[in-house]
Chains A and B, each alone.
Chain A
């Protein structure tokens, strides 16, 4: 067959210097793409081939589970993002060649929109044996500060113009019985590097830094760099060590950015931090979702937030689960439920609201038409109250559903 021979010839000759793929007829192009090997160097294929099928083959060969919906429905994007993530996960500072990443930048910079790195390896210890010895006694100390810094993302992130999401976890996955505290050490230097990098990244919309031992100082450092960020919409600092001062810093950030979603779950925010957040919330008009799960806000903080919600009209979802809240907060929130018409989702699970608190909430909810989710599991409000509240919320949700069906009436098929 002449075409195949021709294509083989053309391709085998000089794929690098003679990119004639675009000039082929569609059926020939198809044939060539179908026969291309997935093992070709990325330097050749990255900017030359835009065919989704080829990249699909690459992905499926490499990974078992491929959910394209997480990657903007693009196989090529998925391939490059996951490829980059893999490289970053396995990057060991001072050992791995930094050019491994830097070489990839020109190839993938047009396709990477999201980076989801859930592990950063610390630099390898010089003396493996010593490390083994120390591991028994808990080697929290004894390492030079310089040696334990993680990979500096600054170079990479600033070179990716389309980056919109950044999910980072400074820690080691699957360490098993090799667990050591210093595997999970997010140093100040790391934080500085990251903050500077994030500041430079103007298109960033979602920033998640979870399980990374981010404490107050680091939070403040990050917040200082994120102030007045042009695009940032979602900030997730869950599972960290943020205390009241960090929460105050985040509260300042709320009114100096376009944040819509804020997740601070599983931190150590007490009532002072919660009050700072509440003050910010009272003036804010962009935030729609706030998550304070697993903190120690307690009644003082809960009441402050409730008072803020009396004036706020944008917040739709709030999670105050596991916060040691009790009856006073419930009383205030019954007022909030009676007045506020924007709140749609409230979560009070795992608090000690008590039976009376539950009744108060039920009363407040009586005239509310906006609330569609109200989680009171394990909140000690009593089964009956929970059931009644559930009924009201279900009715609201049904109404909402019908309303949404009526308003944009389904087009006749």
Chain B
């Protein structure tokens, strides 16, 4: 309502502005037009002025001037008219302004009216609302008052009733309490009396105790003072001790640090030592090995030396023995005149130390043996005999040993062994070097097999005959597992043992052995047929696997075997020493006695002879002296010369003839 007026005024203003703008535009246009036309006219007039200058005729000039005047007047009139119009407009505007002012004042009046009206309306409304609110408030208040009054009265009544009740209860309680009070009073009086007496006693006791306590207190005080002093001193001591301990602690700390550093150093040192010791250990093991090697070397050299010494001693002994025998021979033939027979002992022919250790043949040799044996029995036999001859014809035991060595292989029989070896040589050709194979083409079948075997054994590291036996054994065992023919093999084995025992007694008779071999070979050849070529490789593989373990054991066993058996040595030497038998010695003893006697006699004779010789010499000297004396002039001078009465026949040469004869008898010339 109120703002409507403003809006309306705005609208009017806007319209007015629009109109004004339009009018302004028109006016401007009009003015411009007017200005144009007037300038045109003015130009016209001015151009005529120029024309007027040219005029010479006064009438014309006057006419022209008149014309000009008229035109100017016209122009002015137009201008004035325009001015008048504008002024009219201005007046209109003024009127409009007045009207607008009036309108505005009207508007303002209207506005005021409306505002007043609104205010009046609002006031009325507010008053009405206020009245309503007051009424409602009054009503509410009255209700509240009533309610509160009612509540109040109820509460008062209840309060009164309760108070009465409380009063009655109180009266009752008061009576009760009075009774109780009286009772209590009587009781308390009695109690009081008793208590008083007791307390008096107590007081006395307590006084006494107090005094005691005072005394104790003083005592205690003194004690405590003393204790205090003691404690102070202790405290001082403690402080001193603490400081000492602290110092000690520091010292120990430093010590600990030192020790730690030392420990670290020592650890380092020990580690270094450990290293050095490890190096030492290695060195020592090296040395040990060296020593062992040296020992082995020494052992070998010892053995050599031993044999040398042995040979030397034996030579010496044999020289001595020979000498003894010669002496015996001389004694027998020359002294006793008995026929002398040279004694024949086994040890006489022995040269070098006794062969108790086994001489290992090479596996290949054995294989060759086996191969050649079966192919040509006679040849093998000859080879064996030669061998035996080489080892010592007379040594029965030696040959027996050699026989024993061959037994394990013999157990299996030559044919079987040969069969196995041939199989091996054929099937494991891959182990042989290719160069060798080519060179083998030129050789014969037997030699080829041998060469092949040689190289195969080299590849399988089979060196000694034991290894070969094991290989063959292994083949057989393998086979035995497949086929249960072990029984048939067991019996010939037992026979073999028996045969061998016989062999030993037989000594070097090869013919018998040959006979025995034939049935054995027939028996042994039975299983050999069953070996299949395809199995050989498998068996070889298994063997090589197990072989390493076996070899380790063998090594240790071989070492032990190196130790010589010296039990027979004593006997041998004893026998050497007693090459001259006991009766002969006795004979020699008797002979010695007799000869000594004889010698004594001879000695006596010799002394006698010397005496004789001395006497002869004296005699001859005396003879000479006598002769001198005789021949001397003195003698002649003498009354009776001694020569005359002495026998001068005795001469020296007669004596010389006698001595050689006796000697020849006593000492027979050595033959």
Contacts and interface: CB of A to CB of B under 8 A. Distances in A.
B7 A294 contact: no
Contacts of A350: 7, 10-11, 14
Nearest to A321: B10
Name the residue among B8, B13, B14 with the largest chain A CB count within 10 angstroms.
Answer: B14
Interface in B1-29: 4, 7-8, 10-11, 13-14
Interface in A279-338: 293-294, 321-322, 324
A378 B4 CA distance: 9
A350 B7 CA distance: 7
Nearest to B8: A378
B215 to A, nearest CB: 76
Contacts of B10: 293-294, 321-322, 349-350
Contacts of B7: 321, 349-350, 377-378
A253 B131 CA distance: 52
Interface residues of A, number: 9
A349 B9 CA distance: 11
A321 B8 CA distance: 11
B13 A378 contact: no
A81 to B, nearest CB: 26
A293 B10 CA distance: 9
A321 B14 CA distance: 10
Interface in A138-197: none
Interface string A195-228: 0000000000000000000000000000000000
A377 B13 contact: no
A324 B4 CA distance: 18
A378 B7 CA distance: 8
A377 B13 CA distance: 15
Contacts of B4: 377
A321 B10 CA distance: 8
A322 B13 CA distance: 9
A74 to B, nearest CB: 26
Nearest to A179: B97
B20 to A, nearest CB: 12
Q: What secondary structure prevails in chain B residues at the interface with A?
A: helix
A349 B13 CA distance: 13
Nearest to B21: A296
A321 B7 CA distance: 8
A378 B9 CA distance: 11
Nearest to A294: B10
Contacts of A294: 10, 13-14
A223 to B, nearest CB: 26
A90 to B, nearest CB: 25
A322 B7 CA distance: 9
Contacts of B11: 322, 350, 378
A321 B6 CA distance: 11
Contacts of B8: 378
A82 B8 CA distance: 34
B352 to A, nearest CB: 131
Contacts of A378: 7-8, 11
Nearest to A377: B7
Contacts of A324: 14
Most buried by B among A293, A294, A350: A350
A322 B4 CA distance: 13
Nearest to A293: B10
B94 to A, nearest CB: 11
Best-buried of B4, B8, B11, B13 by chain A (most CB within 10 Å):
B11
A321 B11 CA distance: 9
Contacts of A322: 10-11, 13-14
A294 B14 CA distance: 7
Contacts of A377: 4, 7
A377 B10 CA distance: 11
A322 B8 CA distance: 10
Contacts of B13: 294, 322
A32 B11 CA distance: 59
Contacts of B14: 294, 322, 324, 350
A349 B7 CA distance: 7
Contacts of A349: 7, 10
A294 B11 CA distance: 9
A98 B552 CA distance: 139
A135 to B, nearest CB: 14
A324 B11 CA distance: 10
Interface string A363-383: 000000000000001100000
Contacts of A293: 10
B19 to A, nearest CB: 14
Nearest to B97: A179
Nearest to B18: A324
B453 to A, nearest CB: 111
Interface in A366-404: 377-378
B16 to A, nearest CB: 11
A110 to B, nearest CB: 37
Interface string B257-275: 0000000000000000000
Nearest to A296: B17
A25 to B, nearest CB: 41
B10 to A, nearest CB: 5
Contacts of A321: 7, 10
A324 B14 CA distance: 9
B663 to A, nearest CB: 174
Interface string A347-365: 0011000000000000000
A350 B13 CA distance: 10
Nearest to B11: A350
Nearest to A349: B7
A377 B7 CA distance: 8
A55 B7 CA distance: 41
Interface string B585-626: 000000000000000000000000000000000000000000
B134 to A, nearest CB: 16
A378 B11 CA distance: 8
A144 to B, nearest CB: 27
A326 to B, nearest CB: 13
B14 to A, nearest CB: 5
A320 to B, nearest CB: 12
A378 B12 CA distance: 11
Nearest to B4: A377
A377 B3 CA distance: 10
User: 6 tightest A-B contacts by CB?
Assistant: A322-B10, A350-B11, A322-B14, A349-B7, A350-B10, A377-B7
16 contacts: A293-B10, A294-B10, A294-B13, A321-B7, A321-B10, A322-B10, A322-B13, A322-B14, A324-B14, A349-B10, A350-B7, A350-B11, A350-B14, A377-B7, A378-B7, A378-B11
Interface of B: 4, 7-8, 10-11, 13-14
Given A322-B10, A324-B14, 7 more contacts: A293-B10, A294-B14, A321-B7, A322-B11, A322-B13, A322-B14, A350-B10
